[in-house]
Amino acid sequence: MSVIFKRVSVRKYEAKPVEEEKVREMIQAGCAAPSAGNQQPWEFYIVRNQSILEKLSKVHQYSGFVKDADLAIVPCYRIEGLWAPQYAHIDMAACTENILLKATELGLGCTWIGIAPEEDRMKTVKEILNLPKNLAPFCLIPTGYPAESRPQENRYEKNRIHLVE
């Protein structure tokens, strides 16, 4: 079965470290995403430092488990010099989904934690990571070997499809 139908948000992790090569493969998958005018607005920050993971886990009320992950990937995007800046978040969403799917294929677990477009969350993450002025954080992806599993729920509903004749 395709990883598309296996991916679920994983919020509990084993203590086992994630290999650098697997992290690289996840980033490579993110970079394979489509983007407006092929502008590829992404830059990736990899956080393994426990005290920074703890700070990230306090960014908002739904990010608490970030501190339990082996690492967090923080996809960021350039806010200057883009061909179509109005599409940056959409590009980053496609990139993020690719990362989640590759993690699933590699036997890893992760969750998309929303940061952009919430200004307060973006400001906090930018400060924690000391990001350069021209970069904005898009989301957090805490990642580790999964300590929980479940099948993906079936969300396919035939009545969501509307044939235009």
Ligand X SMILES: Cc1cc2nc3c(=O)[nH]c(=O)nc-3n(C[C@H](O)[C@H](O)[C@H](O)COP(=O)(O)O)c2cc1C
Site residues (vs ligand X, CB under 6 A): 8-9, 11, 62-63, 111-114, 152
CA distance linking residue 90 with residue 22, whole number of Å: 25
CA distance linking residue 133 with residue 37, whole number of Å: 23
**Phi, psi of 7, deg, nearest 5:** -65, 130
**Cβ closest to ligand X, residue 20 vs residue 118:** 118
43-59 b/e with 16+ CB inside 10 Å = b? bbbbbeeeebbebbbeb
Min separation Cβ 137 and ligand X, Å: 13
**Cβ closest to ligand X, residue 37 vs residue 117:** 117
Min separation Cβ 113 and ligand X, Å: 4
CA distance linking residue 157 with residue 88, whole number of Å: 30
**Cβ closest to ligand X, residue 63 vs residue 98:** 63
Residue nearest to ligand X (CB): 114
**Cβ closest to ligand X, residue 28 vs residue 149:** 149
Min separation Cβ 126 and ligand X, Å: 17
